Structure 1
Amino acid sequence: MTEHTPPAPPPSSSAEAAPSIGLWVGTYPAAGAESPAGAGEGIWEVSLDPATGGLSGRQAVRTPAPSFVAAHPSGGVLYAVGEQEAGTVSVFTVTDPRSSDAAVALEHQATVSSGGASPCHLLLAPDARTLYVANYSSGTLAVLPLEPSGALAPEVLAGGPAQVFGHTGSGPRADRQESSHAHFVAFAPGGTHLLVSDLGADELRRYRVASDGLLAEDGIAARLPAGAGPRHLAFSADGRHAYVVGELDGAVHVLEWDEGSASGAPVQQVPLVDPPLTAQPSHIERDGDVLLVGVRGADLVVALRIGADGLLEREQGATALPGGCPRHHAVVGGWTVVAEQVPGALVTLRPDSRAVAHVLPVPSPACVAPRR
């Protein structure tokens, strides 16, 4: 009797496949931040296939120069800067936030002053009750209290930011460091202090955080070498080292970090390309014991391994991007999603080799944020 071999089971249906991962992507107008509204201007909703790294997306809403966006942990609210001379922060209600496969819509709630000119970064407090805004051109840091729902607090809707902190300082690069330029906001390890990367003054500014999210000036947490131009930063897993991108000197600066005093001392400087001044590093993201740094000019994502002592070991590798100007990236589901501002695309890099896996044309993308 011939033994019967049962037929192979049918392929898994799409319903059984891992759900896609939702992303928000902020963009610039194609001709630059201060140009009239263009095709790329707005916030995009993008889906990432966690199995293949494939991307698909669409424009979700038009809003002026939303170069940085941040999502409320509820998934129901999205915040976006308006990177213009008269800076703004806009708040949107997200419809259907729980289903990453559904087409979502963004409904405008409110727009208020960002507390300065050319806002370029947003940070949501861990308790989601305060939004902090870095204003690049004016060098100011603004504090926007929020309601539990994620909406702006009534006093912010009525009068703008609850606090605005300015700063004075400059550096040796007359074309970029003529005054203070706030570029990035981060909580220091321990959560009692907020830090601002000041590209113009070569400093990390420090603010003490009160229980209600309001701030008090608390001096300078670290001074970078003259002309470094600190842009973005990341911390080691144990909080004992900070890694600061020098946009103007093309290097990563390693600071030995003291949590008690919320201060750092330089202990290492690692150039990203040779010669270093041909590069303009942008964003830095830690993925386990590896730092991923976007490098404009060279158009690379450079991987640096963090040693057991917190110092950076030799370059682990560099991925040449198919386009140019990597402005921001995020590690999502193991994939690295890179926003290439020029000529305009999102690029996914594989979790294992960081080789290019997929390219999705998107006009002038400037940041990538998980949908929550």
Structure 2
Amino acid sequence: MTSRELWIGTYPVAGAGNPVGLGEGVWSVHLDDETGELADARQVAVVASPSFVAADGDRLYAAVEDGAGRVVLLTPDEAGALTARHETPSGGAYPCHVLVTEHALLVANYSSGTLGVLPRQADGTFAEAAPQVHGHTGTGPRADRQEGPHAHFVAIAPGGRHVLVVDLGTDEVRRYAWDGTTATPDGIAATFAPGTGPRHLDFSADGRFAYVSGELDGAVHVLAWDAASATGTPVQQVPAVVVAADARTDDERARLGQGDHWIRHGAGDLSSHLLVDGDHVLVTVRGADVLTRWRIGSDGLLVDGRSHALGGHWPRHFAVVGPFVVVALEKPGELVVLDDAGHARSRLPVPSAACVLPRD
């Protein structure tokens, strides 16, 4: 038997802005990579709201998702506990995603809608230079969620010459020229229909297609990707929640409005994290509380979608670890492990689980 350590970021149990003391921080758990069993949950750092964590070897960077906006560097001791070594402003308010590059951290600050570029030194600590901060303007039709820009995710485009910022508030993917240390505004890489609310993005292995979760429209969007210009063109849209028609009773099919092959779920479903796993696109959906797996066809388009119930509420981030998918369920405060058939292998309580990061 072998096991893999996972670092888990969390939200404040009592809500944003409340004092810590109910298990908020970074947790460590172990996953048996043969059986899918989770064990040994323990809190290894007290941090106010580390809703997203990213690593560079044993160095862990936690985005402290609050109005002040900070990123904290933590390093482990011999017992595996994490100690805060350094922190720096994130370049905006409520940072929700961090991408580690060789010379800088790239941070999506949700509330302010800004991209922060945080220089870092060879030892992983933050350079004294102030972060570069790139703002944006624009709105969308959803007054409650799109009253302004909301940067939700950062990626490096295929080819490495551009930084992409997925903006839920303006229904755009923003583009920045990137030289490894400096980001320079370079227009819009992709535009979606008003009210899409793009959240997360990932690329096919050959870089010819981008897959984007629409949080507000409950869909997965496929973009044909031109690497030379770092521009995406929409070519397909599929539901983020699907269930085989033959998995429902006659009454359920009549109530939900059965199509030829698939049934779509409720308009209130919110797509969350998305990633490409080999020849599949995986996406979690809050509200419906499922993990959906779409197969990538030979033409890059998505086929044969199927959703799997998670048995818990409000899935956030997830990670593929060997043959398993480990999903953070915020509202019950637990992790669930699914096999590739969508069956739950194990569950383990972790307060307000938000992010899953396999330790190198």
- Counterpart position of 2:146: 177
- Counterpart position of 2:252: none
Structure 1 CA distance, aligned partners of 2:314 and 2:269? 10
- SS of 2:121's partner is coil
1:175-211, Cα deviation, whole Å (9 max, x unpaired): 1000000000001111110100000000000011114
1:225-272, Cα deviation, whole Å (9 max, x unpaired): 110000001111111000000000000011000000000010111112
1:318-356, Cα deviation, whole Å (9 max, x unpaired): 211121111010001221000000111011111x31210
Give the CA RMSD over aligned residues. Answer: 1.2
1:30–1:39 CA contact under 8 A, matched in 2: yes
**More displaced stretch, 284-293 vs 87-96:** 87-96
- Counterpart position of 1:297: 287
- Counterpart position of 1:168: 137
1:71–1:370 CA contact under 8 A, matched in 2: no
2:75 is matched with which residue: 93, 101, 115?
93
1:93–1:109 CA contact under 8 A, matched in 2: yes
Pair 1:138-2:109 in alignment:
no
Structure 1 CA distance, aligned partners of 2:329 and 2:24? 15
1:188–1:194 CA contact under 8 A, matched in 2: yes
2:48 is matched with which residue: 64, 69, 74?
64
1:31-77, Cα deviation, whole Å (9 max, x unpaired): 222333241310001111111111122100111100000111x32x1
What is the aligned length?
Answer: 337
Structure 2 CA distance, aligned partners of 1:277 and 1:243? 20
Pair 1:363-2:347 in alignment:
no
Pair 1:109-2:93 in alignment:
no
Structure 2 CA distance, aligned partners of 1:214 and 1:290? 33
Structure 1 CA distance, aligned partners of 2:182 and 2:304? 41
| Amino acid of the structure 2 residue aligned with 1:300 | V
- Counterpart position of 1:269: 237
Report the TM-score when normalising by structure 1: 0.88
Structure 2 CA distance, aligned partners of 1:235 and 1:25? 24
- Counterpart position of 1:230: 198
Structure 1 CA distance, aligned partners of 2:68 and 2:287? 29
Q: CA deviation at 1:276?
A: 5.0
Q: CA deviation at 1:275?
A: 4.1
- Counterpart position of 1:5: none
1:291–1:306 CA contact under 8 A, matched in 2: yes
Matches within 5 A, 1:315-354: 315=305, 317-350=306-339, 352-354=340-342
1:28–1:40 CA contact under 8 A, matched in 2: no
| Amino acid of the structure 2 residue aligned with 1:323 | G
Structure 2 CA distance, aligned partners of 1:69 and 1:33? 17
Pair 1:245-2:213 in alignment:
yes
1:123-181, Cα deviation, whole Å (9 max, x unpaired): 011xx32111110000001011111222212x14xxx42x0000001100011000000
Structure 1 CA distance, aligned partners of 2:136 and 2:266? 28
Structure 2 CA distance, aligned partners of 1:53 and 1:176? 37
- Percent identity over the alignment? 57
Structure 2 CA distance, aligned partners of 1:308 and 1:33? 44
Question: Structure 1 stretches of 5 or more lacking a match?
Answer: 1-16, 97-102
Structure 2 CA distance, aligned partners of 1:55 and 1:169? 43
Structure 2 CA distance, aligned partners of 1:281 and 1:304? 14
Structure 2 CA distance, aligned partners of 1:357 and 1:32? 30
Question: Structure 2 stretches of 5 or more lacking a match?
Answer: 242-263
- Counterpart position of 1:51: 34
- Counterpart position of 1:14: none
1:221 is matched with which residue: 176, 189, 201?
189
- SS of 1:67's partner is strand
- SS of 1:138's partner is coil
Structure 2 CA distance, aligned partners of 1:331 and 1:267? 27
1:22–1:371 CA contact under 8 A, matched in 2: yes
Structure 1 CA distance, aligned partners of 2:65 and 2:169? 18
Structure 1 CA distance, aligned partners of 2:16 and 2:298? 41
- Counterpart position of 2:261: none
- Counterpart position of 1:4: none
1:249–1:276 CA contact under 8 A, matched in 2: no
1:204–1:221 CA contact under 8 A, matched in 2: yes
- Counterpart position of 1:283: 273
- SS of 2:29's partner is strand
Structure 1 CA distance, aligned partners of 2:67 and 2:33? 38
2:166–2:199 CA contact under 8 A, matched in 1: yes
Q: Structure 2 vs 1, CA of residues 275 and 323 (structure 1 numbering), >3 Å: closer, same or farther? A: closer
| Amino acid of the structure 1 residue aligned with 2:280 | V
